[in-house]
Amino acid sequence: MATSDGIDPTLDALAIEGPLSGVESALRALPAAQQARRFKHRLMSGARSLAPLGGVILCIGIAGTVEGPLSAVAGVLGLGLAAALGIRGMFSTRFRVPGHAGDDPGRRPELVVRVLQRLKADLAPDTPVRLRLRPDPHPQGPGSSLYVLKRIKTAPPDVLDPWLTLETRLADGSHLRLSAVERRRVRVSDHGPNGPRRRTRIKENDALFLEARLRVKEKRHPRLAALSLDRARAAVRLPPGAKLQRLRITGEHLRLRIRLEETWRPFVPKDMGEEKSSTPDASRAVTMMLLSLYQMLHLARTPVAPKAVKEPPGKKPPHPRARSRRRRSG
């Protein structure tokens, strides 16, 4: 059962299936609801963090108003709690990166809205769209601005957050499935560039993986299975900041996966500065992925041009002037 803002509490995600207009209206209403949900979450987190401080105040109040052994016990307990909170604050392992792209509540919904707008011309009228979207990253998961410092010697497993699944049928009859997964990887190193041991360094970085799957009819593309990976890779065009991760081709399926850095944005205007221009544009990356897949279908229908056969090197014919000189000398 979904809440008033469309978020399913069991999945913590927006799950909807319907026409394009209804999906777009539900997505545009998400940012306002997200801000309210984030405010509520931070309020509850603040209340939990201030609960020990309330215990300190209570102990000090008891020590100042009650006489006898209870007053001494309350005073010692209050001082102990205050010292523990002070030490905990000095050596806190949680910190938030200011200005992180994950703090934008509309980053994920805006990406989906822009992708649907660009797909509108390729969708048949009243085509249903199936969407499952988690608009907010996990508090300490991939895509969030909250990091936790830990004393570890070996790198833990990667943390994955699959937050998007979009499925629809295009006007030409092919079935499109778009998915997004964010990953947080921790790297641990204790050796310098020349080999000697040094202080252990821990580095965390996030990455976004976008995958597009296109299912077509084999009878319409009978040569797709024979398309070589080299020709298919040559057809892939990606924007700056995007890297090809995986490419798979079978008789009915094309699968393309790319990687974007954690600073990705749903849309980057062309007139932005140099710093913004290097930011990966996720909506443009999705558009170029789909264009690359259809370019592969075109290559599958186009036979490979035969290579020109070079003649074996032979003896060059003598120059005409050389022949005339021989005749004169004779």
The overall pTM is greater than 0.85: no
Residues 264 and 144: their CA atoms lie apart, in Å, by 13
Residues 182 and 204: their CA atoms lie apart, in Å, by 13
Q: What is the pLDDT of residue 186?
A: 85
Label residue 200 left, alpha or beta by phi (over 0 means left) and psi (-120 to 50 means alpha): beta
Residues 164 and 180: their CA atoms lie apart, in Å, by 5
CA-wise closest residue to 278 among 238, 230, 241, 306: 241
Show the beta-strand stretches assigned E in 126-284.
129-133, 146-148, 159-169, 175-191, 197-215, 242-249, 253-261
Q: What is the pLDDT of residue 152?
A: 72
Q: What is the pLDDT of residue 4?
A: 40
Query: From the centroid of its chain, how far is CA 89?
Result: 33
CA-wise closest residue to 285 among 246, 309, 324, 259: 259
Please list the pLDDT of the chain residue by residue as tens digits (330 residues). 334 445 655 557 889 999 998 999 888 888 776 666 665 655 565 555 555 555 555 555 555 565 656 565 555 565 666 565 555 555 456 656 667 787 788 899 999 999 999 999 999 888 999 999 998 888 778 888 777 767 777 778 899 999 999 999 999 999 999 999 999 988 887 766 666 666 777 788 899 999 999 999 988 889 998 999 999 999 999 999 999 999 999 989 999 999 999 889 999 988 766 655 678 999 999 999 999 999 999 999 887 767 666 656 665 566 566 555 555 555
Residues 266 and 27: their CA atoms lie apart, in Å, by 14
Q: Where in the chain are the domains?
A: 10-23+104-301
